[in-house]
Chain A
Amino acid sequence: AQSVAQPEDQVNVAEGNPLTVKCTYSVSGNPYLFWYVQYPNRGLQFLLKYITGDNLVKGSYGFEAEFNKSQTSFHLKKPSALVSDSALYFCAVRDTSQGGKLIFGQGTELSVKP
């Protein structure tokens, strides 16, 4: 079965430190990978995506993600965390077996403390 996993329910980081939110996937064929962010009681906002090309993808708000085919990972990173980055982050992958719909991970709560 095709799936995506976010192994950490919560990540805690001090402001100014680098952050990483982990994501691993399992799909057949070439993966289409996405990161979305959700602030409390709001919908999700798109951060970045990987379809093909450079393994390092740059997105909104200074975030980037590294696609690693051998490790089937797509970790979200930011060099210097801000308190305002505190939110719920979702990784998603295209389900190639069911009309191209997205499969979402369970989400990772990022908390950035001053």
Chain B
Amino acid sequence: DGGITQSPKYLFRKEGQNVTLSCEQNLNHDAMYWYRQDPGQGLRLIYYSQIVNDFQKGDIAEGYSVSREKKESFPLTVTSAQKNPTAFYLCASSMGRAGANVLTFGAGSRLTVL
């Protein structure tokens, strides 16, 4: 079945450590996105990529980094510069731009900073 796989599902990090969240899709979608979800705040866009080797900052990119070396993969690194990284992280993809096309989401990764 086609879909998006996020790993790990749960991740614990000590303060000062970088962590990388994996996102892989086999939908042949061009665009991929990373969202952060906090209770009562909806989803906020971190980074998005509409094509391989290109990506743009979203609304809350500070303290995060991404790469898009392959169409199928869009890993997110949460760096030590991110002041409050504890959150639920969602990866999504779409055939074209999100504004006109439906997003398909992964199951999410929950990051907790100890």
Which A residues have a C-beta under 8 Å from some C-beta of B?
A: 9, 32, 34, 36, 41-46, 49, 51, 90, 94-96, 99-102, 104-107
Other-chain contact of B99, A45, A101, A104, A106 (Cβ < 8 Å): A101
Please state if A43 and B97 are interface contacts (CB–CB under 8 Å).
no
Given contacts A9-B40, A43-B107, A99 and B56 within 8 Å (CB-CB): yes
A44 → chain B closest CB, angstroms: 5
Interface of chain B: mostly helix, strand, loop or mixed: strand
Other-chain contact of A96, B4, B41, B99, B108 (Cβ < 8 Å): B99
B: number of interface residues (CB 8 Å): 29
Contacts of B44 in A (CB 8 A): 104
Answer yes or no: B81 CB below 8 A from chain A CBs: no
Please state if B99 and A95 are interface contacts (CB–CB under 8 Å).
yes
Taking CB as reference atom, which chain B residue is nearest A51? B100
Apart from A49-B102, A94-B99, A101-B58, 6 more pairs, CB < 8 Å:
A43-B108, A44-B90, A46-B103, A101-B48, A102-B98, A104-B44
> In the assembly, what is the distance between CA of A94 and CA of B103, in Å?
12
Which B residues have a C-beta under 8 Å from some C-beta of A?
A: 4, 6, 33, 35, 40-45, 48, 50, 56, 58, 88, 90, 92, 97-100, 102-108, 110
Contacts of B104 in A (CB 8 A): 46
> In the assembly, what is the distance between CA of A47 and CA of B107, in Å?
16
Please state if A100 and B98 are interface contacts (CB–CB under 8 Å).
yes
Taking CB as reference atom, which chain A residue is nearest B100? A32
Interface of chain A: mostly helix, strand, loop or mixed: loop
B105 → chain A closest CB, angstroms: 3
Taking CB as reference atom, which chain A residue is nearest B96? A100
Taking CB as reference atom, which chain B residue is nearest A96? B99
Please state if A42 and B48 are interface contacts (CB–CB under 8 Å).
no
Taking CB as reference atom, which chain A residue is nearest B43? A104
Please state if A104 and B105 are interface contacts (CB–CB under 8 Å).
no
Contacts of B35 in A (CB 8 A): 104
Taking CB as reference atom, which chain B residue is nearest A43? B105
The 4 closest A-B pairs by CB, nearest first: A100-B99, A43-B105, A94-B99, A100-B97
B33 → chain A closest CB, angstroms: 8
Sample 5 A-B pairs with CB under 8 A, ordered by A number.
A42-B107, A44-B90, A100-B98, A101-B99, A105-B42
